[in-house]
Each structure stands twice: as structure tokens, then as C-alpha cells.
Structure 1
């Protein structure tokens, strides 16, 4: 059972990035159960097809579509949005992300550090391309997925691509902090430009693969993994539960713009609840500077009349 208890969204359209794996997959599966049309935005179209078949086998009458979307390639996003072929969008879940572990720093096609590009910059540019659809849809929502890891990080505006201080876990945490700063700054700007569209920030807590139910052939957890990881259930949960704050932020009519939602137990597991964000996650000076840097890096601005493609 999830928290929503039969909330229906039959006439709505939701877009989930990174919906063919992990938390994004479970968010798409749970949103499909609401009756909405769910668009799976994924880089790998073959995996997206598998994900749609899986969701269709578990959710009777699921209404699903997919679009190829590579957030690490900024030049491809305008075409991806055009290929959606829709005239309204009720919510987008900015979920897709990567966590690299190798010590060598990697970059995208435009030369941006790969985690910063995929986890944050691509979503910033995507929001700009989706803005006309979202702001034309009354009651629409932009759900930005941060991370518990952002609590201990601080953004270095002079080294956004971590050219001088690249450590994989730190770089990942900073990219997710950038996401959260963006989500709160987006709320402030939406209040001025499009107050009927909400920006909500969420995080999944501590979501482990080993505590996640299998969805073969996309991913599977062995019996040995489940036994070995059982003690972790005291403080962590699986990715199916990590998706609950995302889904609630999309569906719950009581949630309003500018809020942060995450798991109830130490911010790591449990039912979704509203949290008080830490000051460095909402700092308006840092967020405004990040926004300015992001428009320069992407050629995009969610509230500009036109958005260039780089």
C-alpha cells in the first residue's frame, strides 16, 4: 500500500525523467495507478519499452508513453519536448540522475562535468523547454528531486564543474544541492511569473537497491542480498518507498509550492512528510547566482520568451 488511497488523476499527463530504472521507475508505476497518462522520459528507449511492459502488467489499464531524452546532451532537449506531441502537462518529475564512482572526472558533449550536467543542468534546460506547456496548464507542478546527500555539501559557484576539486561523492552531492537550490528559486520566480504553477522539492531518503522489490528483467534483488541487507531496514528503505515523496508531491492537493518533502524517519525512511529545508538549500543569493550561471551555460531560461539550444 502507498499513501495515496485511491487518489485519481485520470485526465492528467505526467512526465517522469529517468523512468526506466530505480526510483523513477517506481514513481512512474505508482503514478500510472492514479489513472493519469505517464510519459517515461529515458535515454535508453529499449529499457523504456521494457519498463512500460512491466508497468502495464502490474497496473490494469495503465496509460503510458515514452520519449527519448538525454539530459546530458543539452542540444537534444528541444526536439525531445517537441516529440512529446502534447498541448498540456500537469506535472514533471525532475528525477533522472547518475552517481559515478570512478576517480576520473567525466564530461558531457558540451564539456560540463557529467553528474552536474545530467543531474542538474539538463533539468534546468528541460524546465525552460517545458515552461510553455506547464504554465499553460492550471494547477501544474514541477517536482524537483534532491538528495539527503545535499545536507552536508555546499556549492562552489567558482567551480561548478568541479575542475579543481573533483571527488565523486562530493560532486554528486553538490549536483543534487544545485537541484534543490533551483527548485526553491523556481518557486520564488513562479510566484511572480506563473503563480498557478507550483515548484515542490523532494528527496527519497536512503533508498537501497538491496531493499527494493525486483522488476525483472529491468532489475532483480537476490535472496542473499535481501538477507544481508535486512538490518539496514531499521534506517533505510527500498527505491519503491523512496518514490513515495515524488508521487505524493505530484498528487496530493494539500501540498503547495515551495515545500520540501521527504521520508519521516530521520529523513531516511518511512512515509512522506513535510520537512524544513536547511538554510544552505534555500539561500536566495546563492540560488540567484546559480540561476544566472545556468542560463549562461545552457542558453536557456524558464521565463525567457525564447530559449536557445546549445
Structure 2
């Protein structure tokens, strides 16, 4: 991986799972890595684990609660930098069983956290990303989005809540956001790039131990080995996002995913087609997201910090 000394990266949900390994790998480049997490104790434990793997790692933490849209401005202002070279929109929730849950803002939880939270956070981070020579917004999608379609009349799943479907649609919304953001960045002449990734299939049993964060037993690891034919551990699942952050050849609007059936292996460039390339649906989702959050990601050169007047807020 190329060195990134002097750069600053934010990883949402960087205290656990795939996000942890994204943060660990980025810390290995010499960059400052900021973990966005609701839980300070979990973030401290993740930072200690990263430092045990990467001597002299530069790791910080900010409180970040994507379920609380009103808190995101303060989270952006807490970043210990005057520029942000990349944000990895990794954090997310998945519920396997009913009942339907809502955030404190009244949004269906998976759609609200996975998509709306990141949409609004990008607004508040825009000035810092625009201040970098080539800022990047890396949005983490999912293989689950491949078989789903958005219901633009029921984005909050109020009429037909099925957890698996709702999760897949929330990840599809994230991916459509990433591609629409790229279109808007290019139209505005911004130097910021928006890249979409997905990690493939990732299992805890195939993931290297990082005690106390992750400590699978020998039996669990052995039982998981046959699945390695099709999927991978979370360390490898982090590669797509890490490449999207670091590779100088990566361009905005691209999709990076594991090369073997989109489930495992080194990341490769994948075609953006079908419903992922539907610019009309993406534009309608953008408009709905603006209405639901009250803010809109807008970028421009030389913009002030998150508390400055140029950060556009819509009533």
C-alpha cells in the first residue's frame, strides 16, 4: 500500500467488524485514522488493538451517532484536522427479525442509519473534504443490494417491512447515493471523488483474531474453513475500501468489489449497470433524502469549515 503520511481518514464504525480492519490497514500507511463510533470505550479498545498491530499508529476517535441527525454537525466539528482526505462510510446496522425499529428522528432504523445518516454526515464533512487536494468519499454497499429495488413511495418500509429486504434496500440507497454524488461532483467541477465499494461475503470465523475485540476459538476457525471457498474474513473484506481510499488510479463513479463472484478475493473494478446505474431513481432518492434530513452534500473549492457560513442547510 502507498504511504499516506500527513493524510487524515475517517472511518465510520471503525471500532468493529470490517470497519476495524479498514482502520487498521489505513493506519499502517502512516496516516492519521479517526474512528467514528457511538461508544468511546469500544473505540478506545479498537485504537489499542490497532496500536498493537501497527507501532506508532496515529489513531483518534470522535463520537458519531448516525441515528441522531442533529448530532452530526458537532461530530464533524470535532475532527482534529482542517482537511479530510477521505471518509469511509462503513458503519451500518442489520436486523434479522421484526419488529420494525425507528431512530430517535423517527426514521426506519436501517434506512435511517445506513443511508440517511451518511447522507447528512457528508454534508457536514464537505468543507473538510473539499479542502484536501483530492478528497474521497468511499461508500460501502453490499452484495445484498444486487437483488433489491427501491420503493420510492415507501422508503421507510412502513407498508411492507421485511428485515432482509429493508436492509438490502438501505444498502442499495447507499450505493445509489455514492453514484449520484459522483455525478454532482463532476458537474460542479469538484476535485472530490465519490467511489462505491462492497466487501463481498465476510465471516467472523475466517477473520484473524484481534483480542479482546475478536477472539474466535480454534473450533470456530476450523468449522469456518470450508466456507473460505466462497467467502472471506473481515480483514480481506476491508481491501476494497482501502484500495478506494489509497489507489491513485481510482476514479469517481467507480465500483470496487472482490474479484471472485463479487464475494472474495482481491478488489477489482466492476461494471456499474442495471438498477445501480439508474440516474433517475438516484436523483429522486437524493431529493427525498434532502427532504428527510434537511441538508444536502454540496462541495466547492476553498469552502470554510463545518461551522462556516458556506455550509448549506435547507429548512
Q: Which residue does the alignment assign to 1:280?
A: 275
Structure 1: give runs of 5+ residues left out of the alignment. none
Distance in 2 between residues matched to 1:178 and 1:9, nearest whole Å: 30
Matched position secondary structure for 1:71: coil
Root-mean-square deviation over aligned CA pairs: 1.3
How far does residue 309 in structure 1 lie from its aligned partner after superposition?
8.8
How far does residue 176 in structure 1 lie from its aligned partner after superposition?
0.3
Contact map agreement 1:23 1:239 (CA 8 A) in 2: yes
1:302 aligns with 2:297: yes
1:81 aligns with 2:76: yes
Distance in 1 between residues matched to 2:69 and 2:189, nearest whole Å: 25
How far does residue 194 in structure 1 lie from its aligned partner after superposition?
4.2
Contact map agreement 1:135 1:194 (CA 8 A) in 2: no
Aligned with 1:104 (options 99, 124, 127): 99
Distance in 1 between residues matched to 2:222 and 2:83, nearest whole Å: 45
How far does residue 227 in structure 1 lie from its aligned partner after superposition?
1.6
Distance in 2 between residues matched to 1:106 and 1:308, nearest whole Å: 27
Contact map agreement 2:136 2:195 (CA 8 A) in 1: yes
Q: Which residue does the alignment assign to 1:250?
A: 245
Distance in 2 between residues matched to 1:266 and 1:96, nearest whole Å: 24
Q: Which residue does the alignment assign to 1:62?
A: 57
Q: 1:165-204, aligned counterparts within 5 Å?
A: 165-204=160-199
Q: Tell me the matched-pair count.
A: 305
Contact map agreement 2:84 2:132 (CA 8 A) in 1: yes
Matched position secondary structure for 2:257: strand
Matched position secondary structure for 2:212: coil
The runs of at least 4 aligned residues of structure 1 exceeding 4 Å deviation read none
Distance in 2 between residues matched to 1:226 and 1:60, nearest whole Å: 27
Q: Which residue does the alignment assign to 2:155?
A: 160
Contact map agreement 1:204 1:242 (CA 8 A) in 2: yes
Distance in 1 between residues matched to 2:204 and 2:154, nearest whole Å: 32
How far does residue 11 in structure 1 lie from its aligned partner after superposition?
1.1
Distance in 1 between residues matched to 2:211 and 2:80, nearest whole Å: 30
How far does residue 307 in structure 1 lie from its aligned partner after superposition?
4.1
TM-score (norm 1): 0.96
Distance in 2 between residues matched to 1:309 and 1:211, nearest whole Å: 45
Q: Which residue does the alignment assign to 2:3?
A: 8
Q: Which residue does the alignment assign to 2:305?
A: none
